[in-house]
Amino acid sequence: MSDNSVKRPMKRIPKKKVCVFCVEKTDEADYKDVGKLKKFVTEKGKMMPRRMTGVCAKHQRMLAESIKRARIMALLPFKGE
């Protein structure tokens, strides 16, 4: 080992995300529960992707439907500030 050897930083392994709805054993996301839905929407009003939220595919589809329904009922804004 000479002085030319360069130490590389350890590659960070992301923690496996677990579906919130599967843990709570919830069958559906209620469109009237705005507090819970806001966790899955960005500040600009866009829905967050699965890779960011850690929600499974089944619940992501259900969540998208609930967010869209809440927007139509004017509980959530279509566009953020």
pLDDT digits (tens, 9 = 90+) for 15-37: 778 899 999 998 888 999 999 99
| Residue 27 identity (one-letter amino acid) | D
Task: Give the Cα-Cα-Cα angle 40, 43, 52 (nearest 5 degrees).
Answer: 40
The reported pLDDT for the residue numbered 2 is 55
Confidence check: pLDDT of 41 > 60 = yes
The reported pLDDT for the residue numbered 14 is 76
Closest by CA to 24, choosing from 5, 3, 39, is 39
**Domains assigned to the chain:** 20-72 (4.10.640.10)
Element (H, E) at 57: helix 57-72
Confidence check: pLDDT of 57 > 80 = yes
Q: Do the Cβ atoms of 47 and 67 come closer than 8 Å?
A: yes
The reported pLDDT for the residue numbered 5 is 72
The per-residue pLDDT of the chain, averaged, comes to 88
